[in-house]
């Protein structure tokens, strides 16, 4: 400990922390993985575009529709990144010891509850979009039993859940929709169906256990993700489950008639559907593979392009704040119950988020919601660890 530090402590002065220049100079350096911040930024901007840009579905034969890639895939990228965040919080490449699980699960539980509450508060703004944060918070809790699984096991479990879960949840929804309508939609055909969101979180947890600063790992993620995505979307298109086809999973449309003979075609549809928010198995592989490829690409370009990408990565370093801010912007600019319908609104909002988050990072560091979330969850987990430690006095 240096003399200046001792003097400050004895005089009661607080360490002023890094200067704005130091924050800018050091931003994105290891152990922080800047490529993940880039991917988070793309996810937030993509979700803002899905809400604000008036963007239609994508058609591969019409380049002018390519902005439609933001639908569904942005939120799925967010889910995979959430799994990676859980891995970083629980040891990165190191599998946590059993003795650590109590502390780590407490931390995840509190964080999940807080994110859920933030989502509920954002719902009160009246923005007519599906707020992702409630499910996002629940996923932090759902993933807790999987923390000690190895990479291969996590990927295997994720694939099994995606294949079997899509069929089981669709069958449940078709049979019990009249009785448990909310549960049926939440499990299968709501905007964020659990049948693919849980396995997506597990894929992210598996990726987070890898050495992400290794370019060979980044390249493999990009290549494998892109390959899986192309194959899955091609199979879905051949089977009629891709964008541009009538959605085979519209439960309400099925119940408009009395013919239950379409039960098995609907189960087939749960496997081949890949259009956004369908909950189909091939959406998991198609959009999930796309998300993995985007993460791999962001990891690859983050090192050589670090300085020019700092503003975008600054937004990604505070995704909860940025996501919440774009909803507040919609309410202020267009009022409750309304959405903008222009590329200009999307573009200016995204630029404002990038500039605002960059300035906040330079002058204050961690985003305000992220700072509060970390402080509360760390404090709660510390109290839990102290309670579980036997008194040796």
pLDDT, position 255:
38
pLDDT, position 271:
85
Task: Give yes or no for residue 250 having a pLDDT over 70.
Answer: no
CA distances for 102 relative to 99, 331, 369, 387, angstroms: 7, 40, 24, 11
Task: Give yes or no for residue 261 having a pLDDT over 70.
Answer: no
Residue range 114-163, pLDDT digits in tens: 999 999 999 999 999 989 999 899 999 999 999 999 999 999 999 999 99
Provide the percentage of residues in the chain whose pLDDT is more than 90.
67
| DSSP type of residue 245 | S
pLDDT, position 278:
81
pLDDT, position 2:
45
Task: Give yes or no for residue 184 having a pLDDT over 50.
Answer: no
Sign, Cα dihedral of 216, 217, 219, 220: positive
pLDDT, position 178:
53
- Give the least confident one: 37-46, 63-72, 269-278, 379-388: 379-388
pLDDT, position 8:
44
Q: Check: CB of residue 172 under 8 Å from CB of residue 279.
A: no
Which of 4-8, 57-61, 276-280, 341-345 reaches the highest mean pLDDT? 341-345
pLDDT, position 349:
97
pLDDT, position 189:
45
Instruction: Produce one character per residue of 72-110: b if its CB has 16 or more CB atoms within 10 Å, e if not.
Output: bbbbbbbbbbbbbbbbbbbbbeeebeeebeebbbbbbbb
pLDDT, position 58:
85
Q: How confident is the model at residue 172 (pLDDT cuts 50, 70, 90)?
A: low
Which of 52-56, 169-173, 182-186 reaches the highest mean pLDDT? 52-56
Residue range 53-72, pLDDT digits in tens: 888 888 777 888 889 999 99
Pick the more confident residue, 154 or 256.
154
Q: How confident is the model at residue 280 (pLDDT cuts 50, 70, 90)?
A: confident
Tell me what the pLDDT averaged over the chain comes to.
86
Separation of first and last alpha carbons in the chain? 30
pLDDT, position 260:
44
Residue range 332-373, pLDDT digits in tens: 999 999 999 899 999 999 999 999 999 999 999 999 999 999
| DSSP type of residue 14 | P
Sign, Cα dihedral of 82, 85, 90, 92: positive
252: exposed, middle or buried (Cβ count in 10 Å: 0-12, 13-18, 19+)? exposed
Q: How confident is the model at residue 270 (pLDDT cuts 50, 70, 90)?
A: confident
CA distances for 284 relative to 33, 140, 216, 390, angstroms: 25, 19, 24, 45
Pick the more confident residue, 280 or 13.
280
Helix (H, G, I), strand (E, B) or coil at 277: coil
The set of residues, in sequence order, having a beta carbon less than 8 Å from that of 74 and lying 6+ positions away, is 42, 43, 44, 45, 46, 47, 49, 50
- Return d(Cα 97, Cα 147) in angstroms, integer: 10
Task: Give yes or no for residue 77 having a pLDDT over 80.
Answer: yes
- Return d(Cα 331, Cα 386) in angstroms, integer: 43
């Amino acid at each position: 400990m240096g003399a200046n530090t001792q003097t400050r402590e004895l005089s009661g002065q607080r360490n002023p922390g890094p200067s704005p220049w130091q924050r800018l100079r050091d931003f994105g350096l290891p152990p922080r993985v800047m490529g993940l911040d880039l991917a988070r930024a793309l996810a937030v901007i993509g979700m803002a575009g899905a809400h604000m840009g008036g963007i239609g579905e994508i058609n591969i034969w019409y380049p002018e529709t390519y902005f439609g890639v933001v639908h569904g895939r942005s939120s799925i990228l967010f889910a995979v990144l959430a799994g990676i965040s859980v891995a970083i919080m629980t040891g990165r490449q190191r599998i946590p010891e059993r003795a650590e699980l109590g502390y780590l699960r407490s931390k995840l539980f509190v964080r999940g509850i807080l994110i859920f509450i933030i989502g509920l508060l954002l719902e009160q703004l009246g923005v007519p979009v599906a707020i992702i944060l409630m499910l996002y918070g629940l996923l932090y809790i759902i993933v807790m039993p999987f923390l000690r699984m190895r990479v291969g096991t996590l990927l295997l479990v994720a694939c099994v859940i995606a294949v079997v879960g899509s069929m089981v949840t669709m069958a449940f929804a078709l049979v019990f929709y009249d009785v448990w309508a909310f549960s049926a939609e939440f499990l299968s055909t709501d905007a964020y169906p659990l049948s693919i969101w849980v396995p997506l979180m597990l894929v992210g947890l598996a990726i987070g256990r890898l050495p992400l600063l290794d370019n060979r790992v980044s390249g493999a993620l990009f290549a494998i993700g892109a390959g899986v995505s192309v194959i899955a979307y091609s199979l879905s298109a051949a089977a009629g489950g891709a964008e541009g086809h009538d959605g085979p999973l519209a439960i309400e449309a099925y119940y408009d008639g009395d013919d239950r003979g379409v039960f098995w075609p609907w189960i087939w549809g749960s496997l081949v559907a890949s259009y956004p928010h369908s909950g189909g198995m091939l959406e998991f592989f198609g959009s999930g593979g796309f998300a993995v490829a985007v993460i791999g690409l962001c990891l690859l370009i983050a090192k050589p392009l670090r300085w020019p990408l700092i503003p975008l990565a600054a937004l990604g370093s505070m995704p909860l704040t940025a996501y919440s801010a774009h909803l507040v912007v919609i309410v202020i600019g267009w009022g409750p119950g309304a959405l903008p319908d222009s590329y200009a609104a999307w573009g200016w909002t995204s630029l404002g988020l990038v500039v605002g988050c960059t300035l906040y990072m330079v002058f204050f560091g961690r985003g305000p919601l992220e700072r509060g979330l970390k402080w509360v969850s760390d404090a709660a987990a510390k109290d839990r660890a102290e309670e579980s430690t036997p008194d040796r006095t």
